[in-house]
Amino acid sequence: MQRLRLKADGRIVELRDGQEVPLAPIAPDASAPSGPVGVRDLRRRAHLTQQEFAAKLGVPVETIRNWEQGKRMPRGPARALLTVIAHAPDAVFAALAKA
């Protein structure tokens, strides 16, 4: 199981044998909507509908729609969670399923 840490400056690092190893950024998809993490791209890569993605994150489906349409941008904890999903979606969804 991959162990990740979100640093104060927004970087995500992997913990290996007590050492922090930077993760390689995922190349952005040219068709992805603009935004910090491309919510639509993340959702599609996870093969989830807007309703399913919203349920997994514990947010209203309207929030997902607004993020994808660019009406609103994820902020704070939501932005951090989406950033972690971009790097390790299976680990995040597994952890959220246990909550």
CA torsion through residues 59, 60, 61, 62, sign: negative
Write down the CATH number for the domain with range 37-99.
1.10.260.40
Q: pTM here?
A: 0.63
Q: Residues 1-15: what's their mean pLDDT?
A: 79
Element (H or E) spanning 23, and its range?
A: none
So where are the chain's domains? 37-99
Q: Is the pLDDT of residue 6 over 90?
A: no
Average pLDDT over residues 57-81: 92
Share of the chain above pLDDT 70, in %: 84
The pLDDT value given to residue 4: 83
> Beta strands of the chain (E only): which ranges?
4-6, 12-16, 19-22
